[in-house]
Amino acid sequence: MPMTLEAVRELDRWDPLATFKARFALPDGEIYLDGNSLGAQPLASREAVVSTLDQWRDELIKGWNQGWFDAPERLGNLMAPLIGAGQGEVIVTDNITLNLFKLLGYITESQGRQRPVILSEGGNFPTDGYIAQGLCRFAGYEHRVLPEGAALVDYLDDRVAAVVLSQVHYRTGRLRDMAATTQLVHEHGAEIVWDLAHSAGALPVDLHDCGVRYAVGCTYKYLNGGPGAPAFLYVHRDHQAGGWQPLSGWHGHAAPFAFDGDYAPASGITRFRSGTHSALIYAPLEASLRLWQEVDMAALREKSLKMTELFRDCLADLLEAHGIGDITPPPAERGSQVALIVREHGYAIVQALIARGVIGDYREPGLMRFGFTPLYLSYEDVWQAARHFREVVERREYLAPRFQERAEVT
Amino acid sequence: MPMTLEAVRELDRWDPLATFKARFALPDGEIYLDGNSLGAQPLASREAVVSTLDQWRDELIKGWNQGWFDAPERLGNLMAPLIGAGQGEVIVTDNITLNLFKLLGYITESQGRQRPVILSEGGNFPTDGYIAQGLCRFAGYEHRVLPEGAALVDYLDDRVAAVVLSQVHYRTGRLRDMAATTQLVHEHGAEIVWDLAHSAGALPVDLHDCGVRYAVGCTYKYLNGGPGAPAFLYVHRDHQAGGWQPLSGWHGHAAPFAFDGDYAPASGITRFRSGTHSALIYAPLEASLRLWQEVDMAALREKSLKMTELFRDCLADLLEAHGIGDITPPPAERGSQVALIVREHGYAIVQALIARGVIGDYREPGLMRFGFTPLYLSYEDVWQAARHFREVVERREYLAPRFQERAEVT
């Protein structure tokens, strides 16, 4: 290990984000490097859920007038500063899959359906492509795929209505140039919907600064909103009056309690709401987003990059000696994860690490992912995780039969 | 009041469902007649949520393999016996609005898009019509409206792909003949999607017996799943292999963890899942559905009708004297609510009742709704609620300025 434990502890002593760790409920004896799949639990989130249970019990239907009904907009406004959006430009609702359907439908209608192609990204997290396929099949559009690694410009023409891309890739952790890509797409007369699943809460995001008009993202990864917490949807204020989104439910109506026979979209971001939402799931996320208001995003980015570098440095010689590839992009193009590729035993290595209390995840084919969440990980956690990784590989612990058996992993 | 308090208490002594009331957390000093909007909280639901919070804290990502991922199917199987469906025919997911979109898209694709019309019901709860409008607008179909009170047969022709109707009407509480209506629609070569929002948990429902192929419903009303608890979606087992549903997300994929580039629908009811769901919201609903497994639905129906009759009998002379209309249908055509119509002051009367701890709701224009939930209401509750109603009207309490001010009510 290139750095001593003492030197690493010195980093922790000077870490400006160190106090956040005490505000999370973390399982004993674990080093959790899977916050890019499901974030840890803020202490305040637990209290918020219990308080919402009290509200359900005591207020019953009146609860809807006491913060439940407008939770999508209220939490959207808490999300806004974390992604460089303005007030009234974000709602928290449904999930990424459904929000993509709404935005793609909205964009094509706003364009008068002059362009029949939706372009999504090969090798991206599959639900983005699946919902684009479903939408195209249903609306009679053409689904085009940008192969992984191909140049976007070669796939843009005047038939492309909209492009869906992830700012940070779920496998490699590669960070795209959002400003340049957005400009390129707009120059071709198309729109782009950014998926911020692996960037919101992982690094500073500035949608306005990058000229972004449409984005979605999830809150259960880096933002610690709870398992399957609702997603967010962003539409730039100048692009909110384009038409209908196709999932036109009563909560997106201009006057939901007038019980009109005809749908009329609400003004502003509210038109992107659909049907009735669960009040309960907003409680833990709201508590987490309030904690996030205190976070200095520049400090977060600095710590994130120092942690990923520390992990890589601790393992560089080992990876080379054992033929394990490190496909983590260089710092300027990196999200907040380390991505390692093995020809075999990748699943078993991750299982052997889990048995030691180091939680990463495995994604076919051959990918070991380790997410680094600056709010609740210390530098010492990272160093210890690297030590465990070294021991698992050097001692070939992964060859134990119990680690080779496959179970479904999300 | 035509019945003495003593006689009413005698009814409670012989009520076979009386013990269920102690299994709910009910606010002190309230008589809650709004379980048709939001059901009360089962004690076990509270414990289940806290236990899921523990699971998030302690198991983190592993929770998805410990019951979270398959919750839609598991809870669907708990729903099945309550609505006369079989195992593998129901999932619990998303909300009614989104589930209607899936089913209408699925049905039209299964029919080869030969029929361009979706028929929905005027005067029904508006989200069903709104989502039908959105779907038609997006897919280029025609949205046709069945006016309230019109004969369905006059609106069926060989252009109608699908009909959306509610089994119990949200305003009047009128119960449709599901078997005869389903048969009529099928005879015209169309499909029908039943909305069971006001019937599931309110009365015995037998989808198989009525020949129903498609249905949706909500779980936060009579089924007590919590505010905005996820909806259910039913597809008869013989009609589950028809094609894609348009909201094709990764949880509805045949192999969600293979991360294939192309969407392929899962077999069976799972194809009606879409994107990632919140694990937290399944916890209270599962606890409630387990309680429901103990309920004798025939006894539930008997008590429901006796309660609505008791309320109406207690108020008959008063309503007549004050020109308040009782549009509650006769018992055989009744859900589990009483519907009263006033020309003016309806909102204020409901507010004055709420101030006395009797919770009903008001729906424009002029409708006072009172829902009767046999699991946590006693006959004495009903009698006392009627007494309060009588006093509010006879003493003109509703004329107080504080009851006349309007606030948004869900």
What's the CA gap between A76 and A92, in Å, rounded?
Answer: 5
What's the CA gap between B135 and A102, in Å, rounded?
Answer: 11
pLDDT one-digit tens code per residue, A298-351? 999 999 999 999 999 999 999 999 999 999 999 999 999 999 999 999 999 999
- pLDDT recorded at residue B378: 98
Over 70: is that where the pLDDT of A354 sits? yes
Over 50: is that where the pLDDT of A45 sits? yes
Subunit contact A410:B246, Cβ cutoff 8 A: no
Domains of chain B with CATH codes: 5-43+296-394 (3.90.1150.10), 67-292 (3.40.640.10)
- pLDDT recorded at residue B406: 76
Provide the chain A residues 287-346 that lie in CB contact (below 8 A) with chain B.
none
Secondary structure of residue B340 in the 3-state scheme = strand
- pLDDT recorded at residue A404: 87
Distances in Å between the Cα of A49 and the Cα atoms of A229, A281, B50, B233, B289 are 13, 8, 8, 27, 21
Helices A379-394, A5-13: axis angle to 10 degrees equals: 150
State how far residue A140 is from chain B, nearest Cα, in angstroms. 8
User: Is omega for the bond preceding A374 within 30 degrees of 0, making it cis?
Assistant: no
- pLDDT recorded at residue B404: 87
Subunit contact A280:B139, Cβ cutoff 8 A: no
- pLDDT recorded at residue B217: 98
Cβ-Cβ contacts under 8 Å for A238 (sequence gap 6 or more) = A213
Cβ-Cβ contacts under 8 Å for A3 (sequence gap 6 or more) = A310, A313, A314, A383
pLDDT tier at A408 (50, 70, 90 boundaries)?
low
What's the CA gap between A61 and B410, in Å, rounded?
Answer: 8
Contact A393, A322 (CB under 8 A): yes
- Contact of B280 with chain A, judged by CB distance below 8 Å, is answered with yes
Q: Where are the beta strands (DSSP E) in B12-54?
A: 24-25, 31-32, 41-42
Residue with tokens 């080379």: A320
What's the CA gap between B264 and B226, in Å, rounded?
Answer: 33
Let me know if A206 is a catalytic residue: no
Cβ-Cβ contacts under 8 Å for A291 (sequence gap 6 or more) = A20, A23, A42, A44, A224
pLDDT tier at A2 (50, 70, 90 boundaries)?
confident
- Contact of B246 with chain A, judged by CB distance below 8 Å, is answered with yes
Provide the chain B residues 83-102 that lie in CB contact (below 8 A) with chain A.
94-98, 101
What's the CA gap between A222 and B237, in Å, rounded?
Answer: 40
What's the CA gap between B161 and B173, in Å, rounded?
Answer: 27
pLDDT one-digit tens code per residue, B64-99? 999 999 999 999 999 999 999 999 999 999 999 999
Across the range A177-202, mean pLDDT stands at: 98
Continuous segment of H or E residues that includes residue A50: helix A43-59
- Contact of B266 with chain A, judged by CB distance below 8 Å, is answered with no
- pLDDT recorded at residue A410: 46
- pLDDT recorded at residue A407: 62
For residue A65, give the chain B residue with the closest CA.
B409
Subunit contact B410:A105, Cβ cutoff 8 A: no
Q: What is the mean pLDDT of chain A?
A: 96
| Ranges of residues in chain B whose predicted pLDDT is under 70 | 407-410
In this prediction the ipTM stands at 0.96
For residue A130, give the chain B residue with the closest CA.
B263
Residues facing residue A233 across a β-bridge: A91, A216
Q: Where are the beta strands (DSSP E) in B167-255?
A: 191-195, 214-217, 232-235
* A227 marked among binding-site residues: no
Subunit contact A278:B275, Cβ cutoff 8 A: no
pLDDT one-digit tens code per residue, B179-219? 999 999 999 999 999 999 999 999 999 999 999 999 999 99
Give percent of chain A with pLDDT exceeding 90. 95
- Report which DSSP code applies to B207: T
Let me know if A296 is a catalytic residue: no
Cβ-Cβ contacts under 8 Å for A130 (sequence gap 6 or more) = A97, B248, B249, B250, B253, B263
What's the CA gap between B83 and B78, in Å, rounded?
Answer: 10
For residue B134, give the chain A residue with the closest CA.
A246
- pLDDT recorded at residue B407: 61
Residues facing residue A341 across a β-bridge: A325, A367
